[in-house]
Amino acid sequence: MTTAAGATSEAVWVLPEEPIPVRLMNTVWADRRGVHDALRTCGDLEGWLAATGLSAGPVTNCQVDTFRDLRDALRRLAALLTDDSRPAAASPLQDLAQAVEAVNHAADAGPAGPRLRLRASRLERDETPTGATGALAAVARQAVALLTNDEDAARLSSCHAPGCVLYFIKSHPRQSWCSTACGNRARAARHYRRRRRGDGTRAESTGDRSHEISSVASHVAPDG
Does 159 help bind Zn ion (rule: CB under 5 A)? yes
Spatial contact of 36 and 5, defined as CB atoms under 8 Å apart: no
Does 213 help bind Zn ion (rule: CB under 5 A)? no
Does 182 help bind Zn ion (rule: CB under 5 A)? yes
Closer to Zn ion by Cβ: residue 70 or 164: 164
Residue 219 CB-density burial (10 A; 0-12 exposed, 13-18 middle, 19+ buried): buried
- Exactly one of 79, 164, 186, 213 binds Zn ion (CB under 5 A); that residue is 164
Which stretch, 82-90, 125-133, 154-162, 186-194, contacts Zn ion (CB under 5 A)? Answer: 154-162
The DSSP string of 10-70 is -S--S-TTS-HHHHHHTTEEEETTEEEES--SHHHHHHHHHHTTS--S--SS--HHHHHHH
The least CB distance from residue 135 to Zn ion, in Å, is: 26
Binding footprint of Zn ion, residue count (CB under 5 A): 6
Which stretch, 3-11, 21-29, 144-152, 158-166, contacts Zn ion (CB under 5 A)? Answer: 158-166
Closer to Zn ion by Cβ: residue 47 or 222: 222
The DSSP string of 195-213 is HHHHHSSPPPP-S-----H
- Exactly one of 161, 169, 186, 213 binds Zn ion (CB under 5 A); that residue is 161
**Cβ atoms within 10 Å, residue 121:** 5
Which stretch, 11-19, 84-92, 103-111, 181-189, contacts Zn ion (CB under 5 A)? Answer: 181-189
Does 178 help bind Zn ion (rule: CB under 5 A)? yes
Residues pairing with 197 in the sheet: none
Does 64 help bind Zn ion (rule: CB under 5 A)? no
The least CB distance from residue 186 to Zn ion, in Å, is: 8
Closer to Zn ion by Cβ: residue 109 or 182: 182
- The secondary structure of residue 177, as a DSSP letter, is B
Q: How far apart are CA 132 and CA 138, in angstroms?
A: 10
Q: How far apart are CA 188 and CA 65, in angstroms?
A: 38
Which positions touch Zn ion (CB under 5 A)?
Answer: 159, 161, 164, 166, 178, 182
